Amino acid sequence: MELARCQQLPLATKMAVSFCDPQSSWQRGANEYSNGLLRQHVSYGSDLRTMSQSARDRTARELNQRSRKTRGFLTPVDALLYFDLFTG
């Protein structure tokens, strides 16, 4: 259901879109790495709804301020600003 209209995504964003095979974590390296970073803050099986909003905000801030090799060692925010600067 969540991908029911997936064909519209490349048209709407003018970006190439690819989908990974189910149960193929090696096809989603950056996603799996991000999940690992999240696990440093939240243990596996935890319900994020039980965390306070301030704890969720703090975790998001820490993860978003961490540089990533896949982004040329920029933070996610810096990468967005860099991309925005050069794509107008």
Domains of the chain by residue range: 52-88
> Average of pLDDT values for 29-45?
87
- pLDDT for 59 equals 92
**H helix count then E strand count, the chain:** 4, 0
> Average of pLDDT values for 65-70?
85
Task: Answer yes or no: pTM beyond 0.75.
Answer: no
Q: Is the pLDDT of residue 52 over 90?
A: yes
Count of beta carbons in the 10 Å neighbourhood of residue 82: 13
Q: Is the pLDDT of residue 61 over 80?
A: yes
DSSP lists the bridge partners of residue 22 as none
Q: Is the pLDDT of residue 84 over 60?
A: yes
CB 65 within 8 A of CB 73: no
Residue tagged 């879109």 (tokens): 17
Residues, the chain, total?
Answer: 88
